[in-house]
Amino acid sequence: MSGRLAVVVAALVMGSLALARSPSTHTRVPAASGNGLARTPPMGWNSWNHFSCNVSEQTIRETADAMVVTGMRDAGYRYVVIDDCWQVARDANGALVADPQRFPHGIKALADYIHSKGLLFGIYTDAGTNTCQGRPGTFGHENQDARTFAAWGVDYVKEDWCHAQRLDAPTQYAKFRDALARTGRPIVLSICEWGSNQPWEWAPRVGNLWRTTDDIEDTWSSMLDNLDQSAEHATVAGPGAWNDPDMLEVGNGGMTDEEYRAHFSLWAIMAAPLIAGNDLRDMSAPTIATLTNREVIAVDQDSLGAQGILVWERPPELQVWAKPLRDGARAIALLNRSSAVARITAYFSRAGLRTDSAQVRDLWSHKDLGKFGRQFVSAVPAHGVVLIRATPVR
Ligand code: GLA
């Protein structure tokens, strides 16, 4: 069976499974990472996609301020995460030391500031001896680093996988999960080994999210590659444990606004973590409107926690993706991967809706489009998405 066909078959099975359960009796086994966190996909911001190594206390503070003023906090974004390059050494006791030039008041003061804004604070380390940028890694210091992070008020740790060649990924990440648990502080664990050790097989018991792909680039084709790869593992995602197709590029300038709306829609359909990766201090109106579209965020954050899947395609470029929602509706994305406008039909039965008709709402134009029988047809812009919510009429 081809990969794509397998996905379609899985879609049909998933659609009927979702229908077989009434939403109120639907239960999922809690993720065995056991920390009870990230019941919906984590939302926040991370420095890497825009700033790479160029991070500082001032930039992170200004980002937290911007998260509040732009309305992103109120739309659901919580974690402000510093990625690689904040750390320069270990001290005589082996404790991690932050760059004193770039973080003159230290990490604890920065975490306090972020908390004072009603936000949560995240940091980055690496399971190996060094980070990807050559800074000190956590290998051999798991308990010590977990205690340091807890003492600083860290709420989220992304743990990378550079300089870890001879190590066993499930063992190392479990070691750090246990070290974090021993601190007694609730801390989200973000596993970042790029899908290189089949994390979908073990990471749901270890972390709250795990990367399924290589690093995203700010291009349409990279975004689609990550979509396709992460889609292969849809069945293992659920409350507390999410596939991570990597952080958002919305607003970074490499794609058009239309492409960014598609990127954001597809991450929501996939129940992916929504971790913005742009400069929040300097956003265009369309970028803010995309990142704070509450109807799309509600698809991502739906409490059922199902990852949407590909349910129809006319290869290679026209596709329909669907995500079951807690109330029995479906979020449906009509995706046009081609460079010309196209008409796409979304058959409700393919999306798992056993109904003669459905009420349709457009989640980008914020309009109720009315009642449709069996299918919804729309023109979809080149490199674009039409995203709807289809509620069955009983
Ligand atoms: C890896 C990760 C990225 C980022 C960089 C930092 O490439 O996948 O997300 O954290 O390291 O060096």
Task: Say what the pLDDT of residue 390 is.
Answer: 98
Residue nearest to atom 11 of ligand 1 (CA): 132
State the CB neighbour count (10 A cutoff) for residue 249: 25
Tokens coding 44: 């926040």
222 and 338 in a common domain: no
314 and 279 in a common domain: no
Task: Say what the pLDDT of residue 315 is.
Answer: 94
Residue nearest to atom 9 of ligand 1 (CA): 215
Amino acid (1-letter code) at residue 365:
S
User: What is the span of the domain harbouring residue 348?
Assistant: 3-24+307-392
Catalytic residue at 327?
Answer: no
165 and 133 in a common domain: yes
102 and 178 in a common domain: yes
Contacts 24+ apart (CB under 8 A), 98-106: 102/55, 102/56, 102/57, 103/56, 103/57, 104/57, 105/57
Task: Say what the pLDDT of residue 286 is.
Answer: 98
Instruction: Profile the chain (394 residues) by mean pLDDT over runs of 10 residues.
Output: 41 38 35 83 98 98 98 98 98 98 98 98 98 98 98 98 96 98 98 98 98 98 98 98 98 98 99 99 98 99 98 97 98 98 98 94 98 97 98 93
Task: Say what the pLDDT of residue 50 is.
Answer: 98
Q: 46 CA distance to ligand 1 centroid (A)? A: 11
42: domain CATH number? 3.20.20.70
289 and 271 in a common domain: yes
Q: Which of 254, 283, 300 is the last residue of a domain?
A: 300
344 and 285 in a common domain: no
Task: Say what the pLDDT of residue 33 is.
Answer: 67
For the CA atoms of 189, 330, 338, 222, what is the dihedral angle to 10 degrees? Answer: 0
152 and 8 in a common domain: no
Residue nearest to atom 12 of ligand 1 (CA): 132
183 and 139 in a common domain: yes
Catalytic residue at 215?
Answer: yes
Ligand 1 atom at minimum distance from 83 CA: 10
Q: Within 6 Å (CB) of ligand 1, which residues are found?
A: 48, 83-84, 131-133, 160, 192, 194, 215
Q: Which of 300, 316, 337 is the last residue of a domain?
A: 300
191 and 278 in a common domain: yes
Q: Which residue has the tokens 């290589």?
A: 214
109 and 7 in a common domain: no
333: domain CATH number? 2.60.40.1180
Which among 84, 160, 244, 302 is annotated as catalytic? 160
55 and 195 in a common domain: yes
197 and 133 in a common domain: yes
Rounded to whole angstroms, the Cα distance separating 242 from 38 reads 9
Q: Which of 300, 326, 354 is the last residue of a domain?
A: 300
Number of structural domains in the chain: 2
Using CA atoms, how far residue 172 sits from 37, 39, 168, 193, 203, in Å, is: 20, 24, 6, 11, 11
Task: List the beta strands (DSSP E) in the chain.
Answer: 43-46, 79-81, 87-90, 96-98, 120-126, 156-160, 188-191, 209-211, 242-244, 274-276, 309-314, 318-324, 330-336, 342-347, 357-362, 367-373, 375-380, 384-392
Q: 25 CA distance to ligand 1 centroid (A)? A: 40
